[in-house]
Amino acid sequence: MSTVAVIGASRDRRKFGNKALRAFREQGHTVVPIHPTATEVEGERAFASVLDYPDPIDEVTIYVPGEVGLPVMEEIAKKGIPVVWLNPGADEPHVIARALALGLKPRVACSILALGDSPIRY
């Protein structure tokens, strides 16, 4: 299975950044919570940036608004993560355009639904 970073991971189980972390983990993926100040989310060690995670990351799923997500695109490209899920609320046109300009492969969709799961379950 792949390693998936959840940008906007939350300790609040009602938020989609938490639901996605649990959904990917339940499907067998290694999950990496990305949060600017948290040290852990759902028992997983959290990192402030994808650049702080020492190992490769296969894809990211983003649960932050465009003004936060736009500068994160640079970090994702620098880390060499090819697949970027831009979930509803993170899928602003300028973020998509920046991801494409950096050579990333944005997937504009709910990553939980793409797993064949439902956020309602979490």
Q: What is the pLDDT of residues 75-92, one digit of tens each?
A: 999 999 989 999 999 999
Going across the sheet that includes 59-62, the strands are 30-34, 3-7, 59-62, 83-86, 105-108
Residue 120 in this model has a pLDDT that exceeds 90: no
Reference 31, options 15, 65, 8; nearest CA is 8
Query: What's the pLDDT score for residue 42?
Result: 97
Query: What's the pLDDT score for residue 117?
Result: 85
Query: What's the pLDDT score for residue 7?
Result: 98
Residue 1 in this model has a pLDDT that exceeds 90: no
Domains identified in the chain and CATH numbers: 3-121 (3.40.50.720)
Q: What is the CA radius of gyration of the chain?
A: 13
pLDDT digits (tens, 9 = 90+) for 19-69: 999 999 999 999 999 999 999 999 999 999 999 999 999 999 999 999 999
SS3 content of the chain, % helix, strand, coil (to 5): 35, 20, 40
pTM for this predicted structure: 0.94
